[in-house]
Amino acid sequence: MLLEAIEHRPKGNWASASGPGTVELRLRTKRDDVREVSVLFGDKYAWDRTKAVQPMRKFASDALFDYWQAFVTPPFRRLRYAFRIDDGQTAVWMTEFGFEADLPANPQNLFEFPYVNPCDIFEPPAWVKDAVFYQIFPERFANGDPTNDPEGTRPWGGEPTPSNFFGGDLQGVIDHLDYLSELGVTAIYFTPVFEAPTNHKYDTRDYLKVDPHFGTNEKLKELVDACHARGIRVLLDAVFNHAGRTFPPFQDCLEKGEASRYADWFHVREWPLDVKDGIPTYETFAFERNMPKFNTENPEVQEYLLGVARYWIEEVGIDGWRLDVANEVDHRFWRRFRDTVKAAKPDAYILGEIWHDALPWLQGDQFDAVMNYPFTTAVLDFFVERKLDARGFADRLGRLLAAYPTRATEVAFNLLGSHDTPRLLTLCGGNAALMKLAALVQFTFIGTPCLYYGDEIGLTGGHDPGCRKCMEWDPARQNRDLLAFYRWLIALRRGAEALRTGDFRVLRAEAGEKVFAYMRSAGQERYAIVVNNQDQPASVRLALGEGTWTDVRTRETADTPGGAAEIALEPFGFRVLHATVG
């Protein structure tokens, strides 16, 4: 037993309050080094009367480690605990003070979770686990009202550039809500809709006004109400890291310099505001002179931005915020932001844009979830870049599952493309069958899937601006087979509790192979998903367990003597099998 590999800390993703009477505990051991782990726990003030033992399950593995998990119920909200780790030959106890052969007589040496305070419980909105998101870049989705088109608007469907306009607006979204309902999406994430000079609107001029080229505040309210009538939630983009150059307080700083009453609203290194050798004399997003960074430690800035967050929830009824460049804003501001948003709408979804490990933001006091780009990278590295074999892909997914508390993982925003990335079909080299495999994993993995507008009908494009093409509404120019697949996939997820909230277990992931199989399970429901990530047929034997297994597409029954099945797969093919056990 390699003791140096064993890890636990009584906080973060290792120990977290996941319900009014539940604490999720985790332990890490070297991969394939330990046979079983159990946790001894009880109340620190009544140890002898309350102590109990509970086995832990191995819920994830990566290239180096196994991760063990148990959900325990403190008898009086207080928890002391220790782990018993057994490799089949020897067993040790792990306490806060290290490893011992025998359990210490004094329980004060054990780990402690002092108290499950209700306000510390990580409670993301329950609806998010069941949601299917659809991301819309408003300027390129549909032109429903030509009267508000900007000057120089190009004909719909032309070649996008960083600066041109095609007239997409909110009325265009309203006109196509039936399409979205038929597709099966239940939530929309809009990139910014507030007044700004660019087509992307990430350089805000007025945070309390819908851009006139998109419509009006009243039109946004009409859109939100129409979405809610169809059971569709609405998420807006909060660009609170920075403003735009035309934002009036920044214009005042440009005009008055240090004498401006807004001088402390921004991070200024040197007055007057200027650009020297390509570097602005004030902090910005990247080095973009037109995006000055807010000083969110300034009380006036805080009150202004928190007022914006509250306004659109209270006046228009939006269901949450996606936070742009969220990792460059101070944690104290985000804690105030969460308090403000949750007071206005307790089940609002707070989603941060963070491309790296985001554990510091996922402690229950800031965000509900982050855009899961590490998941994106793992899927693309397996299906597109061919950097991973099945074993490597399983290891990467296991590491993701261990990274955050379960409640955060269940509402992670799982995407395969966005306005910031090349189109999925382009990355797949135009291979729609390969794209389907990636999408299948996205929609059957733990977390909330998001579909980027147009991917479902085969839009292509490289990096920005190529990924921001106009939506294609002519059925003759759409990939109808791909559209039918996404409709089927969304319906599959929405109709299966196990695919939305169930446990995840790898069934097959061998080194050097391209066949990957896993199971999702909840209660008596089981789904086995098998993908063949190669241009040749494959056949694998899987231990599925007892039950009658049926292919959900063909309705054929799989022969499973002894709970095992031989699964045949076409090149870039897949199988989704379902069984109800017990």
Give the three-class secondary structure for 105: coil
Burial per residue of 180-206, b for 16 or more beta-carbon CB atoms within 10 angstroms, e otherwise: beebbbbbbbbbbbbbbebbbbbbbbe
DSSP secondary structure letter of residue 242? B
Q: Are 187 and 234 in contact (CB under 8 A)?
A: yes
Exposed/middle/buried for residue 419 (C-beta within 10 Å: 0-12, 13-18, 19+): middle
Nearest to 122 by CA among 342, 354, 357: 342
The pLDDT of residue 279:
97
**Phi, psi torsion values for 568, nearest 5 degrees:** -100, 135
What pLDDT digit, counting tens, does each position of 202-243 carry? Answer: 999 999 999 999 999 999 999 999 999 999 999 999 999 999
The pLDDT of residue 79:
95
CA-to-CA separations, 548 to 191, 523, 526, 578, in angstroms, rounded: 45, 16, 10, 8
Query: What is the end-to-end Cα distance of the chain in Å, rounded?
Result: 37
The pLDDT of residue 560:
83
* Other Cβ atoms closer than 10 A to 101: 8
Structure pTM? 0.96
Give the integer Cα–Cα distance in Å for 36 and 34: 6
Give the three-class secondary structure for 514: coil
Give the three-class secondary structure for 141: coil
Q: Are 451 and 185 in contact (CB under 8 A)?
A: yes
% of the chain surpassing 70 pLDDT: 100
Kindly tell me if the per-residue pLDDT of 20 is higher than 90.
Answer: no
Task: Read off the pLDDT band of 581 (50, 70, 90).
Answer: confident
Give the integer Cα–Cα distance in Å for 6 and 88: 16
Burial per residue of 288-309, b for 16 or more beta-carbon CB atoms within 10 angstroms, e otherwise: ebbbbbbbbebeebbebbbebb
CA-to-CA separations, 42 to 15, 78, 82, 437, in angstroms, rounded: 15, 8, 10, 46
Q: Is the dihedral of CA 141, 147, 148, 149 positive or negative?
A: positive
The pLDDT of residue 19:
80
What pLDDT digit, counting tens, does each position of 415-455 carry? Answer: 999 999 999 999 999 999 999 999 999 999 999 999 999 99
439's tokens: 């999408």
Q: What angle do CA 269, 270, 271 make, to 5 degrees?
A: 135
Active site residues: 324, 353
Beta strand 65-72 with 22-30 is antiparallel
Residues 6+ apart with CB under 8 A from 88: 35
Total number of residues shown for the chain: 582
**Phi, psi torsion values for 393, nearest 5 degrees:** -65, -45
Give the integer Cα–Cα distance in Å for 108 and 528: 45
Give the integer Cα–Cα distance in Å for 185 and 204: 28
Residues 484, 485, 486, 492, Cα dihedral to 10°? 110
Which of 37-41, 528-532, 558-562 comes out lowest in average pLDDT?
558-562
The pLDDT of residue 559:
81
What pLDDT digit, counting tens, does each position of 447-474 carry? Answer: 999 999 999 999 999 999 999 999 999 9
What pLDDT digit, counting tens, does each position of 352-384 carry? Answer: 999 999 999 999 999 999 999 999 999 999 999
Nearest to 513 by CA among 496, 530, 499, 498: 530
303's tokens: 């009150």
DSSP secondary structure letter of residue 512? T
